[in-house]
Every structure is written in structure tokens, then in C-alpha cells.
């Protein structure tokens, strides 16, 4: 049995359904590839028809990927709000979309044994004809674990150790290995994931920025990384990732960098602010977390995103609370056109 624990080489870029899409900037003097945009559709305080129609609108408007959460209770505002289950929502989108990548931003490793996660992700890849991304993280929302009796782990470090072991096993299973493994958290006996994903190498995206453990897992095992925060914070996180890549001998250019923001596009800032306030009221919340909220014109959004692109982030994940804003969905191409490669 050959282990595939070593860091993978060049993998398909998650922002596009084409598995042969090259990494941006490979050729000297080549025009940079356009910045990719992913629509992270909030799955709380919504209905399936609204969620579905927003995903179809995003594909029609030229977005590169569609994502949702992996939560069992609402995470903004009152937890009692309705929320759709993430993997099933993505699977339902698979046969009715044709081009966008589909994934969780990100899956909670604590919810599922990695063998089950590999099977679920492979099934999504099958029903979407090779467009799945396996997004995964250590999990953070203790309330939902307590509500449903799911083991949350004794401490953060334990959950992140569990994540690292799980990602290693996921890579081996997705790559077709028969896995026998007795580890700290998981035991497999001649486990096999069949059918295989349609993609020759399904991308694994790891979300989170823990400087000691999560980013080491990214450096060792991930094809893509998702983070968030203000520019100085993201710059520091990227420096930590670079440090881990140097320590494990990984070329960081092999890892696709993704960063997420809430965005509402309007020609006037006041109109964008009003549209955002309506969405926050609908969700019983006041904001979408401690990250930049990009409210305003396409030019203003592009100006705010450009420094992140210059750091190497070529995929922008847009947080879209319900009601998923159709004007933003329809106009994201105006932002893309103002960024490198646009």
C-alpha cells in the first residue's frame, strides 16, 4: 500500500469546472487569468426555491463556483431560524447546473467520519459531472454539536489534530487507495471509495487560519485554502502559511488562495447600505462577521479587492445572505472586469 500523505502537485483550480485550467501567471509575460468569483449562498433563513434560483442566476451571470455552509443551526441571529443541510443542497444543484464548481465553505469535520465524507463528496462529483470541491475545516460552532449530541472534542487543538488526520485519509481515499489505518482518531480496515470521483484529482480546500495547526495542514495536504479578514490580518496569515510551506518543502504556488467578503453592489453607497440592512434584518443579524463589508459600486468593490489579488488571492468568495441579492449576482462581472486579467 502506497501512502499519498505527501503534498500533491498541481491540482485543478476550484473556481472553474475545467479540470485542466492552468494556474494563473505560469507563463512569463502572459496576461493573468481573470479573478474568479464564488457565490457563498447563506443557507439560513431561506427556502429551497430561493436558494436554487440564486444558484442558477449565479451560473447564468458567469460566476465560477457556488458554495454554502455546513451548519445544522443558524449561525447569524437567532439559532432557531430554518437552515438547509449543505451537502444535500449542493447535490440537488449538481444536475441542474452545468458549469459552476460546487462545494461547502467549509464542511465540519466533526460531523462525519472521513470515509463518509469521501463518499458524499464523490457522489457530488458524480452527480455534477466532475465539478465538486471538498471543502473542510475543524468546526467551531459548539451550540449545534451540543444540540444534536455530536462530539465537539475537548479543545480546539484536538479538533485540529482530528482535521489533519481526516484530510490525510480523504486524500488517500479520493485517490483510489485501499486504506488500512489505525490512528489517534480514526481506524479503517481495507477501506475503499468506489466509484472514484470523475475528476482525476478532486481538490480539497481547507478553511481556517490557525497559525500552528490548520495552516500546517494546508501546507501539507490542501489544494486550496480559504481565509478572511482585513488586509493586514490576511497578510499575516499568508506569511504563516509561507512559513509552514517552507518547513514542509511545499511550493505555495500549488495552493489556490481564496478569501471571502460580503459584497452588495449598487451605483450609490446609500442604496447598497440599505440593501445590506434589509438582509441583516431578515437574518436577525447586524453583520456578516469581523471582515470587510464591501458595499457600493463595482469600482469601489474592485478597489477594495485589488490588494488581496496582489497578495495572490485569485478566487474571491462572496458572502450572500438571504434574500440573495440578484443585482450583486448579475453585476459581479463588472467587478471582475476591473481586476487584473479582467
Residue range 204-214, pLDDT digits in tens: 999 999 999 99
3-state secondary structure 57-80: HHHHCCCCEEEECCCCCCCCCCCC
* 17 part of a folded domain: no
Judge whether residue 290 has pLDDT over 70: yes
Domain with 99 in it: 36-337
Judge whether residue 1 has pLDDT over 90: no
* 58 part of a folded domain: yes
* 208 part of a folded domain: yes
CA 202, chain centre distance (Å): 14
> Ramachandran region of residue 326, left (φ > 0), alpha (ψ -120 to 50) or beta?
alpha
Instruction: Report the number of distinct structural domains present in the chain.
Output: 1
* 75 part of a folded domain: yes
Residue range 166-208, pLDDT digits in tens: 999 999 999 999 999 999 999 999 999 999 999 999 999 999 9
CATH number, domain at 48? 3.20.20.30
Query: 135: cis peptide before it, omega within 30°?
Result: no
Name 195's Cβ contacts closer than 8 Å, sequence gap at least 6. 122, 126
* 30 part of a folded domain: no
Residue range 291-330, pLDDT digits in tens: 999 999 999 999 999 999 999 999 999 999 999 999 999 9
* 3 part of a folded domain: no
Q: What pLDDT score does 29 carry?
A: 61
Q: What pLDDT score does 22 carry?
A: 37
* 29 part of a folded domain: no
The rounded distance, in Å, linking the Cα atoms of 340 and 342 is: 5
Amino acid at each position: 500500500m502506497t501512502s499519498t500523505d505527501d503534498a500533491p502537485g498541481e491540482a485543478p483550480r476550484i473556481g472553474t469546472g475545467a479540470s485542466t485550467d492552468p494556474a494563473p501567471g505560469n507563463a512569463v509575460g502572459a496576461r493573468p487569468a481573470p479573478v474568479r468569483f464564488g457565490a457563498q449562498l447563506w443557507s439560513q433563513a431561506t427556502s429551497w426555491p430561493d436558494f436554487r434560483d440564486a444558484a442558477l442566476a449565479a451560473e447564468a451571470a458567469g460566476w465560477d463556483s457556488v458554495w454554502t455552509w455546513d451548519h445544522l443551526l443558524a449561525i447569524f441571529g437567532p439559532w432557531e431560524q430554518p437552515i438547509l443541510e449543505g451537502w444535500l443542497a449542493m447535490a440537488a444543484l449538481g444536475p441542474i447546473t452545468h458549469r459552476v464548481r460546487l462545494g461547502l465553505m467549509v464542511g465540519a469535520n466533526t460531523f462525519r467520519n472521513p470515509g463518509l465524507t469521501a463518499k458524499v463528496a464523490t457522489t457530488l462529483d458524480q452527480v455534477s459531472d466532475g465539478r465538486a470541491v471538498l471543502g473542510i475545516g475543524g468546526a467551531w460552532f459548539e451550540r449545534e454539536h451540543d444540540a444534536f449530541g455530536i462530539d465537539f472534542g475537548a479543545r480546539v487543538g484536538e479538533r485540529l489534530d482530528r482535521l489533519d488526520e481526516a484530510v490525510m485519509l480523504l486524500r488517500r481515499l479520493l485517490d483510489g487507495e485501499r486504506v488500512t489505518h489505525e490512528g489517534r482518531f480514526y481506524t479503517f480496515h481495507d477501506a475503499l471509495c468506489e466509484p472514484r470521483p470523475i475528476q482525476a484529482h478532486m481538490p480539497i480546500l481547507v478553511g481556517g487560519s490557525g497559525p500552528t495547526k490548520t495552516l500546517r495542514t494546508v501546507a501539507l495536504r490542501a489544494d486550496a485554502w480559504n481565509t478572511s479578514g482585513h488586509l493586514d490580518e490576511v497578510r499575516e496569515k499568508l506569511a504563516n502559511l509561507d512559513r509552514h510551506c517552507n518547513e514542509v518543502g511545499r511550493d505555495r504556488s500549488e495552493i489556490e488562495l481564496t478569501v471571502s467578503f460580503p459584497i452588495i453592489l449598487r451605483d450609490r453607497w446609500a442604496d447598497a447600505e440599505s440593501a445590506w440592512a434589509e438582509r441583516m434584518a431578515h437574518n436577525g443579524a447586524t453583520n456578516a462577521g469581523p471582515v470587510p463589508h464591501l458595499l457600493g459600486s463595482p469600482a469601489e468593490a474592485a478597489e477594495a479587492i485589488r490588494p488581496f489579488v496582489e497578495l495572490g488571492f485569485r478566487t474571491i468568495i462572496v458572502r450572500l445572505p438571504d434574500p440573495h441579492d440578484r443585482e450583486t449576482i448579475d453585476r459581479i462581472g463588472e467587478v471582475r472586469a476591473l481586476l487584473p486579467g479582467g
